[in-house]
Amino acid sequence: MFTGLMPAMVTPFDEREEVDLQATEAVVERLIEAGVDGIVALGSNGEFSHLTSEERKRFAEEVAKIVAGRTTLVIGVGASGTKEAVELARHAERVGTDGVIVVPPFYWKVGEEALFKHFATVAESVDIPVLIYNFPMLTGMDLSPGLVARVATECPNVAGLKDTVGEYSHIVNVLQEVKPVRHDFSVLGGFEDHILPALLAGADGAISGLSNVAPELFVSLVRSAGAGDLQKAAQLHRRVLSLIALGEHSDPPIGAIKLAMNQLGVPLSITVRGPALPAPDEAHEKIEGVLREADLLGIGKAD
C-alpha cells in the first residue's frame, strides 16, 4: 500500500511558535501538486516530540481535512509509552487517516520482546495499516531484520517499515528477511542518500524529510528509478546528494529545511520549537548556496 515518494512533512509554526494552519495548507497543496504518493505528518521532521498530545491530535484532524483524500495520509504516533501511542493511533483512525507510523518507545532502551509487544499492541488497537519506524540515531535502538520479519509475519496490519539507518546493508538485510515471508510488506528508505540504492535493491519507496524542500525532484527520482531510466535517476540522485548539506546549517536539520523552503517561496515561517534551534543568520547565504548547487534556484527544478 505504501510506495513511492512520501514527504515527512514539516509542521509550520508562526513567530509565536503556535501551529500555523494557513502555512500548513500551503505546504500540503505544494506537495500534492508535485505529485507525491503520500504525506507523513507528525514524524521526526514534523517535530512531533515538540508538540503536546492535544496539539498533535488537533494537527492530525486539520491535516486530514486539508488532504481530504487526495493522497495517502499517514500520521506519526510515536511516544515514549505504549498507552499514549495507542491513544494517538486510535485518534488518527477516527479522523480518517490512511495509516499511522510508530517509532520505538524512546527513553528506556528495551529489548526485542518489549519492542515487538509495543508494535503489536499499537497495531492491534486499530484497523488501519501501521508502519514501523527504525531510527536508531535518535531512539538508540536498531530494529533487527529478524524483528522486522517477526512483526511483518505476526501482525497482519503492519504494512511496512521506514528504515532510517546509517548502514545501507541494513535495508538490504531487511529486504532479504521480510520479502520472502511478506511480499506486500513495504520497505521505505529514510535517509536521502539511500533512496536510489534502496530502490535498486527492491525497496518500495522513501519517506524523506528533505523532499519538503524540492518535492518534484524527489518524485522524479523515484519515478525514474521505477521506470528503469537509470541515467536520469543517477542525475537526480546527485542533486539530492547536494541537498544533504542542508543538515549542516541548523541543530537539528529542521531549521535549515524550513529556511530552504522559505527561500524557495513557500509561505511559512522558519520558526522551530525548542529544543530545536532555527537556522542562524549566517546560514542563510550558505543554504542559498546549497539550493543553487542542487539546481533549485534556476528555471529547471526536477527535470
Catalytic residue among 44, 125, 208, 250: 44
Go through the chain and tell me how many residues it has. Answer: 303
Residue linked to cell 517477526: 150
DSSP state of 226: H
- 162 catalytically annotated: yes
- 168 catalytically annotated: no
Q: Which residues contact 121 (CB under 8 A, 6 or more apart)?
A: 82, 86
DSSP state of 246: G
C-alpha to C-alpha distances, 39 to 18, 172, 175, nearest whole angstrom: 21, 24, 23
Cell of residue 271, nine digits:
520558526
DSSP string covering 152-205: HHH-TTEEEEEE--S-HHHHHHHHHHHTTT-TT-EEEE-SGGGHHHHHHHT--E
Task: Provide the greatest CA pair distance for the chain.
Answer: 52
Catalytic residue among 49, 125, 162, 208: 162
- 44 catalytically annotated: yes
Closest CA relative to residue 21, chosen from 41, 40, 7, 37: 41
Catalytic residue among 49, 57, 125, 133: 133
- Angle at CA 82, nearest 5°, toward 80 and 87? 105
- Torsion sign across C-alpha atoms 105, 110, 116, 118: negative
Give φ, ψ of 85 to 5 degrees.
-60, -40
Question: Known catalytic residues?
Answer: 44, 107, 133, 162
